Structure 1
Amino acid sequence: MQIEQYRDALLLLMVGIAAVNDLATRRIPNRLLLAGLAGALLLHALSAEPGVALLSACGGMLLGLAVFLPFYLVRGMAAGDVKMMAVIGFFTGPAEAFQIAVFTWCAGGVMALFLILLRSRVRLAFVNIGHLLSGLIVPGTKLSDTTLPQSAGSMPYGLAIAFGTIAALVTHYG
């Protein structure tokens, strides 16, 4: 088995454990992410070209952080989700990290629609969307002024990240 396959197996194990933990406790443990980061670092160091692999890993980590951090800053995502995507980026590198982010956003959108319908919060969701959009349209409105009166609900986004990661790896291995 090549290093890449070990790396992908470890990545799947990490996102699987994170998804189950997020479903059960609504948290993604830092210890899990640090263990995944250490494992990925070791596997990158053992690769055929460790310098290239580590440089790509750092780029992937920065990209993973950059694409999810804005959602955390507007309180649309928890810090554990952002850290998890950064660690996933360290595993995969920037190109695959971006692909995983796109698949994750799709999975998260489907999950959000399902939960909104399940919880009968469709009207509240549209009110919140209108409130956010009006904050973007009205000149001089600050992001802090667009605080929503009530949330339509939260969800374990670690599950969406796991689905996005699995989808990316399935397309990779075809």
Structure 2
Amino acid sequence: MQIEQYLDALLLLMVSIAAINDLATRRIPNRLLLVGLAGALVLHGLSVDPGAALLSALGGMLLGLAIFLPFYLVRGMAAGDVKMMAVVGFFTGPADAFQIIVLTWCAGGVMALLLVVLRSRVKAALVNIGHMLFGIFVPGTKLSDTAPAQSVGSMPYGLAIAFGTIVVLVTHYG
């Protein structure tokens, strides 16, 4: 088995555990992400070209962090989701991380719409989106000024990240 297959197997295991835990507790354990990150670091270090593998891993991690961190800063996403996407990016590198991010956004959007509609929270969700957009697009706005009026409920975004990751992994082998 090649290093890439070990990486994919470990990544699949990590996102599956994270998704199940997020569904059950609305938390993604830091310990799980650290173990995944350490495993990926070791496997990248054992690859044929460890320098290139680690550089690509760092690129994927930075991409995941850079794209998800702004959502955390405007209170649109939890810190565990940001950390999970950064670790997923470390496993995959930037090209696959970008595909995972796009698929995650699609899955997360569908999940959010379903939850908002099922909870009858459409009006509150639209108000909250307005607050977030205001904080992003109006210069000089403090984060405290963009706090949502009320939460429409938490969402296990780790499930969406796992979905995006699994779809990309399946396309590698399918």
Give the TM-score normalised by structure 1.
0.92
Aligned to 1:99: 99
Alignment coverage as a number of residue pairs: 174
Residue aligning to 2:72:
72
The residue that corresponds to 2:22 in the other structure is 22
String of CA shifts for 1:11-50, please: whole Å, max 9, x gaps.
0000000011111111111111111011111111111111
Quickly say closer, same or farther: Cα 1:137–1:32, change in 2 above 3 A: closer
Q: Does the CA-based 8 Å contact 2:127-2:148 persist in structure 1?
A: no
Task: Give the structure 1 partner of residue 52 of structure 2.
Answer: 52
Q: Which moved more, 1:36-45 or 1:118-127?
A: 118-127
> Which residue of structure 1 aligns with residue 83 of structure 2?
83
Deviation at 1:141, TM superposition (A): 4.4
- Structure 2 unaligned segments of length 5 or more: list them: none
- Post-superposition Cα deviations, 1:91-133, rounded to whole Å, max 9, x if no partner, equal 0011111111111111100000010111111122223334444
Tell me, in whole angstroms, the C-alpha distance in 2 between the residues paired with 1:41 and 1:120: 44
The SS at the match of 1:155 is coil
Q: Give, in angstroms, the shift of residue 137 of structure 1.
A: 6.7
Aligned residue for 2:148, secondary structure, equals coil
Unaligned 5+ residue runs, structure 1? none
What is the CA-CA distance between 1:144 and the residue it aligns to? 3.2
**How many Å separate the matches in 2 of 1:92 and 1:152?**
33
How many percent identity over aligned positions? 82
Answer whether contact 2:74 2:132 (CA < 8 A) is retained.
Answer: no
Indicate the SS of the match to 1:152. Answer: coil
In the alignment, is residue 150 of structure 1 matched against residue 174 of structure 2?
no
The separation in 2 between residues aligned to 1:137 and 1:96, in whole angstroms, is 29
Other-structure match for 2:121: 121
Report the Cα distance in structure 1 between the residues aligned to 2:52 and 2:138, rounded to whole angstroms: 47
Deviates more, 1:8-17 or 1:79-88: 79-88
Q: CA deviation at 1:51?
A: 1.0
Q: Can you list the C-alpha shifts for 1:143-163, whole angstroms capped at 9, x where unaligned?
A: 432222112221011111101
The verdict on how the C-alpha distance between 1:134 and 1:3 changes in structure 2, with shifts beyond 3 A counting, is closer
Q: In the alignment, what sits opposite 2:173?
A: 173
CA distance in 1, matches of 2:63, 2:134: 29
Contact 2:74 2:135 in 1 (8 A): no
Query: Corresponding residue for 2:12?
Result: 12
Structure 1 residues 39 and 144: alpha-carbon distance in aligned structure 2, compared to 1, 3 A threshold: same
Change (3 A) 1:82 1:133: closer
RMSD (Å) for aligned C-alpha atoms? 1.8
Which segment is superposed worse, 84-93 or 123-132? 123-132
